[in-house]
Structure 1
Amino acid sequence: MLDKTFDPAAVEPRLYALWEASGAFAARPDSDAPPFVIMIPPPNVTGSLHIGHALTMTVQDTLTRWRRMQGRDALWQPGTDHAGIATQMVVERLLASQGQDRRAMGREAFLAHVWEWKAQSGGSITRQLRRLGASLDWPRERFTMDEGLSKAVLEVFVTLHKQGLIYRDRRLVNWDPKLQTAISDLEVESREVKGSLWTLRYPIEGEPGRFIQVATTRPETMLGDTAVAVHPEDPRFRDLVGRRAVLPLVGRPIPIVADTYSDPEKGTGAVKITPAHDFNDFEVGKRHGLPMPSVLDAEARVALAEIEADLRAVEGIAEPDFVRGLAGQDRFAARKAVLAKLEELGLLEKTEPHTHQVPHGDRGGVPLEPRLTWQWYCDAKTLAQPAIEAVESGRTEFVPKQWENTFFAWMRDIQPWCVSRQLWWGHRIPAWHAPDGSIFVERTEEEALAAARAMFGADVPLRRDEDVLDTWFSSALWPFSTLGWPEKTPELAKYYPGSVLVTGFDIIFFWVARMMMMGQHFMGEVPFRQVYIHGLVRDEKGQKMSKTKGNVMDPLELIDAYGADALRFTICALTGPGRDVKLGRKRVEDHRAFVTKIWNAARFLEMNGIAAPQGFDPASATSPLARWILDGANRAVAACTAALEAYRFDEYAAAAYAFVWGSFCDWFIELGKPVLNGPDGAEKDEVKGAAGHVFGTILRLLHPAMPFVTEELWHRFGYGPEGSLIRTAWPDSVPVPDAEAARAELDWVVALVGEVRAARSEMNVPPSVTVPLLLQGAAPATLDRAGRWIDAIRRLARATEVRPLDGAPPRGVAQVVVGEVTVMLPLAEVIDLGAERARLAKARGTAEGEARKLSAKLGNADFVSRAAEEVVEETRERLAAAEAEMARLDAALARIAG
């Protein structure tokens, strides 16, 4: 006997352990079944399950379980990413709490601590994914720094270098002064900062008393200025182009160049050019062949080595001794000192408040510096071309399709990819430096020494490069490195390319594009056929979740409170193409009620002796009720299958919910109660058989999204052994005799009862009050139908009788239309119709007022342009709700006659 309530905490771990132990999640490379492959976006080994993970993993698991039930050989490849910066920071903090320092202990000792931490504490997220019900093929779990993947990384780096596609160059990078490493754009967080805009006066060489003014937010970098740029068509500066200004404090003459980068409409129209400390200035510097001296070191302190020779004593302009005194000062301390000295020299024109975006490191939390350093680069432009062509030709398809435009925009304007990081944790770059500066890139130190010996004619000492690779480099190889490449394995032959990649739009460039580039280059084929892009998870108001707003939702806490099935089904119900997911606790609570509804329906079936049917043949069904619910199940199967094929998880959930809660629980069970409570016989056996058959279909339909409650009920009702639903076939349509006639009959009964209930509710008719239903304009067939279902109509619609209307309608009726019939409820003796009209009219006026106010707000262009996107969207939703309420109340008022 089923317990009164479903207990997720007791059921979930037991069933998951059973699935995992039985190999239910396992791919089978030796099988003839067609493959279905999803590569998990490898979560950071330092990570814990957050709501974004819950979204993407639920979507992937829903697809995987569904395809597995369809008979596909499903591989959902698990694994974690070594997460260079994040992991190094975690271990450094741990060591600092013990009074130890990374640099003091040295690289090898530090890395030993990292591996020890990874073994003991890393990968908790994989345990948490099990809580969500993720059916990953765990024995195949990979780690981006395991032996096999490290071998793949080494092979790719060396191959690309020998092909000229990886090289060393001195370029600007995003530099984190706290972590002292280059970081990727994904790790850059723009923050709005209230600062100042300073206008400085640069004297014109040879023309005492004349200045060119430049505005800057970074006066401390002026020490590294090598030009002033003006727009070539700006008449204010035409006579100055080609001349020189004198750099204040330093005294170095710098050219005034014409460049379209300078905007005549912004600031003074002239901009200082500091190529080593600004990305735009770097490009200007390259165009004009300017020197690029760095004046800040790795810790963002003033370093003067590259400008020492340029310090000149120019009276009233330059202060060489002052500049030398800045050496070693923090950038912000130097800023204050520079401004004070400029003001003293009369070269600070003005200071204005200025709010602007300042890039910060998302891990280190400090403002970043553009820094000119030697780094390793990948020729992304060359690698991008086949990836672009693959999407253009349709060999890889984005869903929704509009994300292809984002992909193209990034890929067609792609810059060299900086693949090196100044960290210790990661794949160390396989490059060895000779004393004369020569570099040997080989798979092993022995090969590097041999290459050096061949070049120099003798053995020379080599020093290995200190840098490691960007984490995204190893992640880019994930679709084939996890399958055993560079070895030719059965897995590689069968499971590459993958079927679909599921991910968020925020890493299309960082991960999706790079997998496309590497897959095409090394495998000669795209890594996946489709890329399904989902939105972000926001709160119920559409606001981005953040700790500062206090609206972050913890999926593990939600699972503890409501069960994994409720959370998973909620995510499916809210996940549609091209839109963000608005998730609130109330939504999960509502879908826990759906789990409860299914459980209660199961208890009803159990109490009525209904279980997995033995020998029931849907094709032999004769009763309209049995044929109607069998036909409804067929339609639900078709709708759910089509929705999943199109990645419309919201439509899949909606179709399943409507059929299970509405058709099966609310109508079939209620309409079937008289039969089930009646005498034994053929009709009762048929209704019980249909109920058992359809309930099994429901469990299979819901399993991809709600695996636990469905699996538990599957074996409890005798459909199969415990833990077997996961391997059971996805339902197909079954033959139903004369389905259209059964649908017409029962749909009419459902519509009649539903409309009458709605009218009673709107008129505030107490549930205890019963009234006759008068049918106007009913065809003989309709009257016959009403007669056949009179018992159900009386019970469910709270009706005393159903009869045709003779003569004129009585006064004081509420009326509804069902098909060709106008159904009238005489209410004059039951409720105060005048008071009800007044109540409905007042409610309608309130809704109209709200709609008018919201419409005016949305009609205000200033509001739409200035308000936050989520506020505008919420206002639109409130307007739609108000308009829908007006329509409902108009219909209710129209129902009252006389």
Structure 2
Amino acid sequence: MTELPKTFEPGPIEARWYDHWESTGLFRPERGEAEPYTIVMPPPNVTGSLHIGHALDNTLQDILIRRARMQGKDALWVVGTDHAGIATQMVVERNLDSQGVKRAEIGREAFLEHVWEWKAQSGGAITRQLRRLGASCDWSNERFTMDPGFSAAVTRVFVELHKRGLLYRDKRLVNWDPRFQTAISDLEVETRDVQGKFWTLRYPLGDGSGHIEVATTRPETMLADMAVAVHPMDERYTALVGKQIRLPITGRLIPIVADEHADPELGSGAVKVTPGHDFNDFEVGKRAGFAARDMLNMFDASAHVVQTADGLVPGDLLGLNRDEARKAVVARLEAECALVKVEDRVIATPFGDRSGVVIEPWLTDQWYVDVKPLAERAMQATRSGAIKIVPESWAKTWYNWLENIQPWCVSRQLWWGHRVPAWFDDDGNIYVAESEDQARTQAGNRPLRQDEDVLDTWFSSALWPFATLGWPEQTADLTRHYPNDVLISGFDILFFWDARMAMQGLEFMGDVPWKTLYLHGLVRDAQGQKMSKSKGNTVDPLGLIDRYGADALRFTLTAMESQGRDIKLDEKRVEGYRNFATKLWNAARFLQMNGVGPSQSVEAPVAILPVNRWIIGEVVETLAKLNRAFDELRFDGMADAIYHFTWGTFCDWYVELVKGAFDDETKAVAAWVFDQILVMLHPFMPFITEELWHGVGERPYDLIVAKWPQPAASVDAAAKGEIEWLISLVSEVRSARTELNVPPGERLIGYIEQPEPSSETLLDKHQDILLRMAKVSWQPVYGKREGAVLRISAGLTELVMPLQGAIDVSAERTRLAKAIAVAEKDRDGLAARLGNPSFTERAKPEAVEKARADHEARSAEAERLAAALARLG
């Protein structure tokens, strides 16, 4: 047996063990007949790098997978990456731009060749980083949303949804990104408050009898106005409904319509309706009887002004971008005396999260999925319990979104992605098929051209739980591992991914994609602020791993993951759990130096000594807490159970209690308990536990595939009571000695004032430990003790320890009195501050929270010092 190094260095250990696990196939050992257990990893973007959210998400998944593997299950963690349409296209375009090459110049096929080259060379960064975190995925079956098998599944689903009447082409408003010239999803829109203006315009009535005023934040869009709306109950405008107004600049006549969208309390109560460039106006326009094909569109794909259908936009406005058009339109309105007033206003403005440009609501032809029937099935599955949402508080949000779901725009105007499997003939007829040959057969062999669009990446990733298992082929993995057991997901993609997986799984597999949906919160900075590059408060998980090790970061995220709450990540916590790893390392070295090696038994060894019977019972109770926390997906409860047992119960107490008394029984028990710690801790801190598993002696197998604990033992109540009595006595003596400044080496003499047989028996039995751990020698001499004494509860009696000669009692009284006065002054000052509404209502929440915490701390300190002074009489 090689002696463990004195210093714990995580870096080399982590690299060595991960390579070993992966190269020997231990992430998915052959267990074809075992109970299946399945998790699919939310596929990170192929362009991505590991951020702290990934670290949390994948740590939680890895914990569940490693435990399932140790339980002997056929544990499959599906891993792969998403092709990330816009993000990848943007990266490759940027690379080409740096070489002086433009995408449009080289064409689609050549551009896609560049994308695949980039993917082969640079697209695996995040998967390498996941390995550093310790993610024990089935890398031998890694998937990619653009690999041939997955692409076949995407095409099959598109065609089937079209056959079932659930997928269709329609002209509607979309979020349009003028830089990338594509529709984008709501998730890719970032709303920012921008300092803008509110323009009030005067529109004359068509018959010249008066005018109506409307207000807008986008005066340039009046070129495409199609109506003015007023509330049907607004008596000011009742007589005007049905009349026409003549638009300034273009002179076009448009109707005044009644619609509840107009708010009588806002501005003039009349609003301009531009259905081709505003989502609310689009709905108003439809209610007013405008067909989408007739709605005016005044911008091209790059958001430059174009001629509208009626040809009335002045020529000098054509070709202007949105900012230029706004200035020109406002100047014309002012010249025509149609501008009433301009007010400053903060405007909530949509921006593309990647392009950084203002998003334009734009009228265009796109492919849509009618998800209403699919949503009904997803809600029914949740209500029946087939899908369990944890924490349950998210269920209300889930139902609310599904109940109010809108058609899903699934097409994107990109080159990188799954090409829409639809073909057009010269007459505009559409043929949806899995191949061009099938489409040509449908078209009677007429010439066809394929739709240029690709599918939204969320469309393909919605198939992840079953397409990664081989669907539409009926593979063995698909049969065994669908539905999955649990999905770990951030709540921010509850609708964009989670709900869509539920809908597609039920539609194409006839069953839910996973039995449990666990939603975790966001990782914020130490002050609770959302992390962002602009704030400079982002945390690099790889940097934390470099400094403290992956185990420390993993345990930190686990300990702080409390259902439904965001995590305030403080680097000091990571440092603290690195200290926990060091504590475990040092405990292993101590045991090794005392002849303790690997346990020879999975079951608890036979024990006679109370301290050994007690620690076996503590393992049993800890395992019960841990298993219960796993069952309830209480990650913070898991960490709490194993941390307190390892650090407190085992390292701080058991090891100290048996120090110098390692007989054969104690060696066997200590070896068994330490093995149980390594097994229970392995899912959370896999690297150090595997290293120590082998470091304390030869093993026939690796810890990663060791059996999850089944101690076949029970709690010995008598031993538990005896050792807890001893621990309490030693703890209280130590604490009291510290409070009263009793020198560490000063031996105190302990007495009981009246005979009490049961307590005396325990004091006799454990006097060596009392002397070694608390520096108290027990004397069975009775009688009242006068003067300054320590009085500590010892079961049914008190242990009384005279202090005269051990400390300067008078000086200690003076010191404590001064310390109490300082603590009370601080306490009262903080109480006054907290009682002042001007502070609690105006100060930052974190400042108020800190003041409350400081007040509680100083109050507790004052009470503790007062109790210490009282001990001195």
TM class by shorter chain equals over 0.9
Rounded Cα–Cα distance in structure 1 between residues aligned with 2:836 and 2:467: 57
Question: Structure 1's 14 and 499: CA in aligned 2 closer, same or farther, altered over 3 A?
Answer: same
Q: Does 2:162 match 1:127?
A: no
In structure 2, what is the equivalent of residue 76 of structure 1? 77
Q: Give, in angstroms, the shift of residue 353 of structure 1.
A: 1.2
Q: Does 2:732 match 1:763?
A: no
Which shifted more, 227-236 or 592-601?
227-236
Which shifted more, 354-363 or 882-891?
882-891
Equivalent of residue 824 in structure 2, options 839, 844, 849: 844
In structure 1, what is the equivalent of residue 229 of structure 2? 229
In structure 2, what is the equivalent of residue 524 of structure 1? 510
In structure 1, what is the equivalent of residue 665 of structure 2? 686
Rounded Cα–Cα distance in structure 1 between residues aligned with 2:11 and 2:753: 55
Matches within 5 A, 1:103-182: 103-182=104-183
Is the CA contact 2:145–2:461 (under 8 Å) kept in the aligned structure 1? yes
Output the amino acid matched with 2:358: P
Q: Give, in angstroms, the shift of residue 241 of structure 1.
A: 2.1
Task: Provide the identity percentage.
Answer: 53
Rounded Cα–Cα distance in structure 2 between residues aligned with 1:559 and 1:522: 41
In structure 2, what is the equivalent of residue 186 of structure 1? 187
Question: Structure 1's 825 and 895: CA in aligned 2 closer, same or farther, altered over 3 A?
Answer: farther
Is the CA contact 1:671–1:792 (under 8 Å) kept in the aligned structure 2? yes
Is the CA contact 1:173–1:372 (under 8 Å) kept in the aligned structure 2? yes
Question: Structure 1's 58 and 355: CA in aligned 2 closer, same or farther, altered over 3 A?
Answer: same
Matches within 5 A, 1:585-596: 585-596=571-582
Question: Structure 1's 61 and 514: CA in aligned 2 closer, same or farther, altered over 3 A?
Answer: same
Q: Does 2:783 match 1:810?
A: no
Equivalent of residue 488 in structure 2, options 502, 506, 527: 502
Alignment size in residue pairs: 862
Equivalent of residue 702 in structure 1, options 668, 681, 690: 681
In structure 1, what is the equivalent of residue 17 of structure 2? 15
Output the amino acid matched with 1:243: K
Q: Give, in angstroms, the shift of residue 798 of structure 1.
A: 3.0
Q: Give, in angstroms, the shift of residue 851 of structure 1.
A: 4.4
Q: Give, in angstroms, the shift of residue 753 of structure 1.
A: 1.4
In structure 2, what is the equivalent of residue 426 of structure 1? 417
Equivalent of residue 303 in structure 1, options 303, 306, 317: 306
Question: Structure 1's 59 and 878: CA in aligned 2 closer, same or farther, altered over 3 A?
Answer: farther
Secondary structure of the residue that 2:728 maps to in structure 1?
A: helix
Matches within 5 A, 1:870-885: 872=845, 875-876=848-849, 878-880=851-853, 882-885=855-858
Output the amino acid matched with 1:847: R
Equivalent of residue 569 in structure 2, options 583, 594, 610: 583
In structure 1, what is the equivalent of residue 758 of structure 2? 781
Matches within 5 A, 1:79-90: 79-90=80-91
Output the amino acid matched with 2:860: A
Output the amino acid matched with 1:355: V
Q: Give, in angstroms, the shift of residue 827 of structure 1.
A: 4.3
Secondary structure of the residue that 2:257 maps to in structure 1?
A: strand
Output the amino acid matched with 1:211: H
Q: Give, in angstroms, the shift of residue 875 of structure 1.
A: 3.5
Question: Structure 1's 615 and 483: CA in aligned 2 closer, same or farther, altered over 3 A?
Answer: closer
Rounded Cα–Cα distance in structure 2 between residues aligned with 1:33 and 1:856: 64
Output the amino acid matched with 2:521: G
In structure 1, what is the equivalent of residue 398 of structure 2? 407
Rounded Cα–Cα distance in structure 1 between residues aligned with 2:451 and 2:371: 22
Is the CA contact 1:855–1:879 (under 8 Å) kept in the aligned structure 2? no
Rounded Cα–Cα distance in structure 2 between residues aligned with 1:709 and 1:432: 57
Rounded Cα–Cα distance in structure 2 between residues aligned with 1:811 and 1:273: 91
In structure 2, what is the equivalent of residue 470 of structure 1? 456
Q: Give, in angstroms, the shift of residue 841 of structure 1.
A: 3.7
Output the amino acid matched with 2:709: P
In structure 2, what is the equivalent of residue 195 of structure 1? 196
- 1:718-756 CA distances to partner (integer Å, 9 max, x unpaired)? 36246x1111101123325x7111111111111111122
Rounded Cα–Cα distance in structure 2 between residues aligned with 1:200 and 1:777: 96
Equivalent of residue 603 in structure 1, options 589, 594, 598: 589
In structure 2, what is the equivalent of residue 559 of structure 1? 545
Rounded Cα–Cα distance in structure 2 between residues aligned with 1:211 and 1:815: 92
Q: Give, in angstroms, the shift of residue 857 of structure 1.
A: 5.4
In the alignment, structure 2 segments of 5+ residues that lack a partner are: none
In structure 1, what is the equivalent of residue 325 of structure 2? 334
Rounded Cα–Cα distance in structure 2 between residues aligned with 1:815 and 1:373: 84
Secondary structure of the residue that 2:236 maps to in structure 1?
A: helix
Q: Give, in angstroms, the shift of residue 235 of structure 1.
A: 2.6
Is the CA contact 2:605–2:672 (under 8 Å) kept in the aligned structure 1? no
Q: Give, in angstroms, the shift of residue 872 of structure 1.
A: 2.9
Is the CA contact 1:500–1:531 (under 8 Å) kept in the aligned structure 2? yes
In structure 1, what is the equivalent of residue 467 of structure 2? 481
Question: Structure 1's 819 and 262: CA in aligned 2 closer, same or farther, altered over 3 A?
Answer: farther
Is the CA contact 1:841–1:893 (under 8 Å) kept in the aligned structure 2? no
Rounded Cα–Cα distance in structure 1 between residues aligned with 2:479 and 2:161: 23
Q: Give, in angstroms, the shift of residue 268 of structure 1.
A: 2.2
Is the CA contact 1:848–1:883 (under 8 Å) kept in the aligned structure 2? no
Is the CA contact 1:616–1:689 (under 8 Å) kept in the aligned structure 2? no
- 1:26-55 CA distances to partner (integer Å, 9 max, x unpaired)? 164x62211110000000011111110000
Q: Does 2:349 match 1:358?
A: yes
Rounded Cα–Cα distance in structure 1 between residues aligned with 2:555 and 2:703: 18
Q: Give, in angstroms, the shift of residue 816 of structure 1.
A: 4.6
In structure 1, what is the equivalent of residue 705 of structure 2? 727
Rounded Cα–Cα distance in structure 1 between residues aligned with 2:603 and 2:356: 67
Rounded Cα–Cα distance in structure 1 between residues aligned with 2:227 and 2:104: 39
Which shifted more, 429-438 or 8-17?
8-17
Rounded Cα–Cα distance in structure 2 between residues aligned with 1:386 and 1:65: 33
Q: Give, in angstroms, the shift of residue 884 of structure 1.
A: 5.0
Question: Structure 1's 382 and 615: CA in aligned 2 closer, same or farther, altered over 3 A?
Answer: closer
Rounded Cα–Cα distance in structure 1 between residues aligned with 2:197 and 2:417: 39
Q: Give, in angstroms, the shift of residue 350 of structure 1.
A: 1.3
Q: Does 2:655 match 1:669?
A: yes
Rounded Cα–Cα distance in structure 2 between residues aligned with 1:352 and 1:436: 50
Is the CA contact 2:759–2:794 (under 8 Å) kept in the aligned structure 1? no
Q: Give, in angstroms, the shift of residue 382 of structure 1.
A: 1.6
Q: Give, in angstroms, the shift of residue 125 of structure 1.
A: 0.7
In structure 2, what is the equivalent of residue 39 of structure 1? 40
Rounded Cα–Cα distance in structure 2 between residues aligned with 1:633 and 1:307: 81
Question: Structure 1's 330 and 767: CA in aligned 2 closer, same or farther, altered over 3 A?
Answer: same
Question: Structure 1's 443 and 783: CA in aligned 2 closer, same or farther, altered over 3 A?
Answer: same
Output the amino acid matched with 2:711: S
Q: Give, in angstroms, the shift of residue 765 of structure 1.
A: 3.7
Rounded Cα–Cα distance in structure 1 between residues aligned with 2:605 and 2:356: 67
Q: Does 2:526 match 1:540?
A: yes
In structure 1, what is the equivalent of residue 869 of structure 2? 896
Is the CA contact 1:203–1:245 (under 8 Å) kept in the aligned structure 2? yes
Q: Give, in angstroms, the shift of residue 652 of structure 1.
A: 0.9
Q: Give, in angstroms, the shift of residue 885 of structure 1.
A: 4.5
Is the CA contact 2:167–2:368 (under 8 Å) kept in the aligned structure 1? yes
Matches within 5 A, 1:338-349: 338-349=329-340
Rounded Cα–Cα distance in structure 2 between residues aligned with 1:136 and 1:615: 30
Q: Does 2:739 match 1:739?
A: no
Q: Does 2:26 match 1:24?
A: yes
Equivalent of residue 611 in structure 2, options 622, 625, 646: 625
In structure 1, what is the equivalent of residue 768 of structure 2? 791
Is the CA contact 1:541–1:874 (under 8 Å) kept in the aligned structure 2? no
Question: Structure 1's 250 and 44: CA in aligned 2 closer, same or farther, altered over 3 A?
Answer: same
Output the amino acid matched with 1:259: D
In structure 2, what is the equivalent of residue 456 of structure 1? none
Question: Structure 1's 186 and 777: CA in aligned 2 closer, same or farther, altered over 3 A?
Answer: farther
Which shifted more, 628-637 or 99-108?
628-637
Q: Give, in angstroms, the shift of residue 838 of structure 1.
A: 2.9
Q: Give, in angstroms, the shift of residue 796 of structure 1.
A: 1.7
In structure 2, what is the equivalent of residue 887 of structure 1? 860
Secondary structure of the residue that 1:402 maps to in structure 2?
A: helix
In structure 2, what is the equivalent of residue 241 of structure 1? 241
